[in-house]
């Protein structure tokens, strides 16, 4: 059984998260998106854990207790657990090392990566670096290697993050046997956020333990996610004015922007290249996607995918054609054209790779253009 899994999201108890990030809205968003395995996120928070335990979920959605914690050096770790009892046990184990376990969806824990994963493994969970290459709160921003962070404790997975794809880690020798995950890190149930990245897994069992087994055994069929250039840390850039630099240019200015004095942050692309020794591992296919709501935004040339026109067309597509993943990947263009001709042209261009990318960096998301959106037959 193949399943689309988004295993890193956040709750209404995390900073900068939507108050709509509650179990019912998340499950609803999964069905709209086509996600069949969802991580709870923030499962160490007692109230959030109880909310999930009180929420009935049909068999078509597998719920996996997951969390992200911040450890020593401000390194973030993503954790997957087999059940809610294991989540409660882990919260108790880590609680004495945290001042905000009961108040913050993503708690800070005063332990090393090795100590955190030791506790995770003791309760039957698995874990590894979250958004491993970003310039803030990532393992490779702080440590020269996985062993520097995790010691002898096995690393079960690595999350690529929105600014990287599989190519960025495939040349790093120490990652040759570590499965790569792609997750949304969503703070909102909006279609442009939830499931914007996901991992297709081959499951032997339709439960949380089956998901953990699939990840640990590397049964990854495909990674699906952004073009890395769309990520806000892909290129080396000033964190204030977002001017982009080559590595040599940044080093020549001592990593200080000559325009405004802002700090230049090394981009994910540069960081991964500096760690790479050349291709060392074969990886599952990586499919680059753009959320349907953002394609619709380009069709209407609006400032946001949440305008009424964009929402109306998005809902019409979902009502008539099914979930978003199916529409983006499989629905015949003529069926989409029956709803909106320009959208059909845009999705065809996306599928054929006719996308112009404008890379992000320094904390500013990249963007994209889809050429030729104008309807050649306006009376269609």
Closest CA to 337 of 380, 300, 306: 380
**CA–CA dist 89, 68 (Å, integer):** 16
Question: 347: exposed, middle or buried (C-beta count within 10 Å: 0-12, 13-18, 19+)?
Answer: buried
Closest CA to 240 of 225, 221, 227, 258: 258
pLDDT by residue for the chain (380 residues), tens only, comes to: 999 999 999 999 999 999 999 999 999 999 999 999 999 999 999 999 999 999 999 999 999 999 999 999 999 999 999 999 999 999 999 999 999 999 999 999 999 999 999 999 999 999 999 999 999 999 999 999 999 999 999 999 999 999 999 999 999 999 999 999 999 999 999 989 999 999 999 999 999 999 999 999 999 999 999 999 999 999 999 999 999 999 999 999 999 999 999 999 999 999 999 999 877 778 999 999 999 999 999 999 999 999 999 999 999 999 999 999 999 999 999 999 999 999 999 999 999 999 999 999 999 999 999 987 754 443 33
Q: Which residue has the tokens 């998106």?
A: 33
């Amino acid at each position: 059984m193949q399943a689309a899994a988004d295993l890193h999201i956040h709750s209404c108890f995390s900073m900068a998260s939507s108050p709509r990030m509650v179990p019912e809205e998340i499950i609803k968003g999964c069905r709209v998106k086509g996600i069949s395995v969802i991580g709870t996120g923030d499962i160490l928070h007692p109230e959030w854990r109880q909310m999930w335990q009180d929420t009935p979920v049909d068999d078509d959605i597998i719920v996996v207790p997951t969390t992200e914690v911040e450890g020593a050096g401000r390194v973030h770790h993503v954790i997957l657990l087999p059940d809610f009892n294991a989540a409660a046990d882990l919260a108790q184990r880590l609680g004495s090392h945290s001042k905000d376990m009961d108040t913050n969806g993503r708690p800070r824990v005063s332990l090393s990566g090795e100590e955190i994963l030791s506790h995770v493994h003791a309760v039957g969970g698995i874990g590894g670096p979250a958004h491993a290459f970003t310039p803030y709160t990532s393992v490779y921003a702080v440590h020269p290697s996985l062993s520097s962070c995790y010691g002898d404790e096995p690393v079960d997975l690595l999350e690529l993050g929105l600014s990287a794809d599989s190519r960025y880690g495939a040349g790093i020798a120490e990652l040759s046997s570590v499965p790569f995950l792609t997750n949304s890190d969503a703070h909102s149930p909006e279609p442009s956020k939830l499931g914007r990245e996901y991992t297709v897994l081959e499951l032997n069992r339709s439960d949380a333990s089956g998901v953990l087994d699939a990840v640990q055994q590397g049964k990854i069929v495909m990674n699906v996610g952004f073009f890395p250039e769309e990520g806000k840390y892909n290129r080396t850039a000033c964190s204030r004015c977002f001017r982009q630099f080559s590595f040599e240019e940044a080093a020549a200015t001592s990593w200080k922007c000559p325009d405004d004095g802002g700090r230049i942050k090394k981009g994910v692309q540069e960081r991964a290249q500096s760690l790479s020794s050349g291709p060392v591992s074969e990886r599952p296919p990586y499919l680059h996607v753009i959320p349907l709501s953002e394609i619709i935004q380009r069709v209407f040339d609006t400032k946001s995918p949440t305008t009424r026109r964009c929402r109306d067309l998005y809902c019409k597509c979902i009502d008539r054609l099914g979930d978003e993943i199916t529409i983006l990947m499989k629905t015949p263009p003529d069926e989409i054209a029956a709803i909106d001709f320009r959208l059909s042209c845009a999705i065809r261009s996306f599928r054929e790779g006719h996308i112009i990318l404008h890379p992000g960096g320094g904390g500013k998301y990249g963007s994209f253009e889809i050429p030729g959106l104008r309807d050649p037959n306006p009376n269609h």
